[in-house]
Amino acid sequence: MTSMTDSEILTKVGAGTPMGELMRRYWLPALKSSELKADGDPVRLKLLGEQLVAFRDTSGKIGVMDHRCPHRCASLFFGRNEEGGIRCVYHGWKFDTDGNCLDMANVPPHQDFKHKVHAKAYKAQERNGLVWVYMGKADEAPALPDIFANTFPEDDCNITFAMRECNWLQGLEGDIDTSHLNFLHYGSMGSKDFEPNDPTRFGAVHRDPEYKVADTDTGTFYGAYRPAENGLTYWRIAHFMFPCWTLAPFIDFNHYRLARAWVPLDDTHMMFVMIGAKEGPSAPSGVDDLLPNTTDWLGRFRVAANKGNDFLMDREVQRTQSFTGIPGIHQQDQAVTESMGDITDHDWEHLAPSDRMITMTRRRLLMAAKALAKDGTLPPSADNPAAYATKRGGFFLAPEQRPWPDVYDAQLATIADAKSTVAAE
């Protein structure tokens, strides 16, 4: 059971909270690059409970800052994005992407003190269609994490955003919970519904996997395993990676190129961010049928099937065709995670052996947040972006005598050997 005190630490992300401060020591994916045009409209967004405005200046550089003008706190969302900066429409004060005041238009030159005024701005970088934001001290920002899926050329990356109206941890924990797959998503399917050579059919045969879990330098990972055939075991491998990334196991391990973030917008809203390939085995389906974006703080990437319409649930379809009657994998996940409430009451839970990855990940997050609050200690991945590059998830078959975690290392070695062979040829 997670205590009420620990639950508060895990779920609260505002400035000054233990988890909020931990999150601020990592780069977070915040926008699609396509949302910002040079000298175009500023965009409202929330991140870790803060109301921000993002814009791209004349040269293409991105600014992400507190929406309040340092002069009289009018919102810079209404500002003019022009000639290398954003100008407040209230009195004409202008700021560059680093928050430096460039002009005090309503102040006589001999009384100008712009060198003393600075808007609260955060460091921003782009990589392959994603805008990343670092909300800690700019001079302490590490390099962007070398997450495998985000290291390919932009024209080979497929990026999906979708907002959820619940705490970030609920979304993330759904992604490291493999046993729900053959209930929530495929609960009405039996093994006869899968192709004979599809290894995922063993999930339908054995819906109660056993688990192995372990800590890593970037977080935690698990191997869920089931008996297969011909002396083989069916493995599903997934990772949690600080601060809010998962590598979910629904793609073949040998072709894995996927990463998913569960980014806290505030305590009760989060943004699902998925990076995958545009084509091939690691090209997951996106989120269908989004509502048009609005300019509200929480108006970006909202799903049309939502709790206001019961996620378009069809009870007749539920009785005759699918386990839920809800169309779409993402919408099924969103329905159950939002149904837990804005923030899950962890005192109601009765965690089971199938939740071992969840309990270990909560423990790792709590230890990291408490260590940072106590003496400034960070997880090793915080300043080691390369640690993310070697992590991989997915499913595979392996000889049943191969023990954990050697089975994971052996599968990684197989991929490395295949790459070396291709390179040599």
- How many distinct structural domains can be found in the chain? 2
The reply to whether 12 falls in a domain is: no
Looking at the structure, tell me whether residues 122 and 158 fall in a common domain: no
DSSP annotation of 159 reads E
Residue 400 has pLDDT above 80, yes or no: yes
Looking at the structure, tell me whether residues 135 and 171 fall in a common domain: no
Residue whose structure tokens are 């790792």? 364
CATH number at residue 114: 2.102.10.10
**What is the domain range of residue 154?**
148-424
Band of the pLDDT at 419, cuts 50, 70, 90? Answer: low
Looking at the structure, tell me whether residues 114 and 161 fall in a common domain: no
In this predicted structure, what is the pLDDT of residue 417? Answer: 63
- Tell me the average pLDDT across 415-422: 58
Looking at the structure, tell me whether residues 183 and 211 fall in a common domain: yes
In this predicted structure, what is the pLDDT of residue 274? Answer: 96
Band of the pLDDT at 168, cuts 50, 70, 90? Answer: very high
Q: In sequence order, what E strands does 181-304 have?
A: 210-215, 219-227, 232-241, 245-247, 259-266, 269-277
Looking at the structure, tell me whether residues 173 and 124 fall in a common domain: no
Please tell me the distance from the alpha carbon of residue 214 to that of residue 86, in angstroms, as a whole number. Answer: 48
Residue 352 has pLDDT above 90, yes or no: yes
Band of the pLDDT at 18, cuts 50, 70, 90? Answer: very high
Looking at the structure, tell me whether residues 96 and 156 fall in a common domain: no
Distance of CA 409 to the CA centre of its chain: 25
In this predicted structure, what is the pLDDT of residue 137? Answer: 93
The reply to whether 15 falls in a domain is: no
Please tell me the distance from the alpha carbon of residue 162 to that of residue 164, in angstroms, as a whole number. Answer: 7
In this predicted structure, what is the pLDDT of residue 424? Answer: 45
How confident is the prediction for the chain on average, in pLDDT? Answer: 94
Looking at the structure, tell me whether residues 84 and 227 fall in a common domain: no
Of residues 393, 411, 387, the one with CA closest to residue 216: 387
Looking at the structure, tell me whether residues 124 and 61 fall in a common domain: yes
In this predicted structure, what is the pLDDT of residue 99? Answer: 98
Looking at the structure, tell me whether residues 239 and 344 fall in a common domain: yes
Distance of CA 107 to the CA centre of its chain: 44
Contact (Cβ atoms closer than 8 angstroms) between residue 96 and residue 102: yes
Please tell me the distance from the alpha carbon of residue 258 to that of residue 147, in angstroms, as a whole number. Answer: 9
Max mean pLDDT range (122-126, 183-187, 190-194, 254-258): 122-126
Domain end call among 140, 173, 197: 140
- What is the pairing mode between strands 121-127 and 130-134? antiparallel
The reply to whether 106 falls in a domain is: yes
Looking at the structure, tell me whether residues 128 and 166 fall in a common domain: no
Looking at the structure, tell me whether residues 124 and 175 fall in a common domain: no
Count the Cβ atoms, other than its own, within 10 Å of residue 117: 17
Residue 423 has pLDDT above 70, yes or no: no
Residue whose structure tokens are 């619940």? 166
Looking at the structure, tell me whether residues 80 and 203 fall in a common domain: no
What's the pLDDT tens digit per position in 255-281? 999 999 999 999 999 999 999 988 887
